[in-house]
Amino acid sequence: MAGPPTNVQFMVKDSKKYAATGGWGFAQFTDGKPDGEAVHKTCFACHAPAKDRDFVFTSYAP
């Protein structure tokens, strides 16, 4: 049985507000509480290889 969620991640597109990170705002919540800026700074660097797919790794099946 699945337990309660412990870690939730979001990406929000806003090309003006988040222009420095490909138009994406990254957010992570641990145990329901938002994590700090230090955590969020790590997100974009690791998503950079997916630049050709707008920094999103997964895609809908065709």
Residue 27 binds to ligand HEC (criterion: CB under 6 A): yes
CB neighbour burial string for 22-58, b if at least 16 within 10 angstroms, e if fewer = bbbebebeeeeeeeeeeebeebbeebeeeeeeebeee
Residue 30 binds to ligand HEC (criterion: CB under 6 A): no
What's the distance, CA 28 to chain centroid? Answer: 7
Residue 7 binds to ligand HEC (criterion: CB under 6 A): no
Interface size with ligand HEC, residues (CB under 6 A): 15
Q: Which residues bind ligand HEC (CB under 6 A)?
A: 9-11, 26-28, 39-40, 42-43, 46-47, 56-58
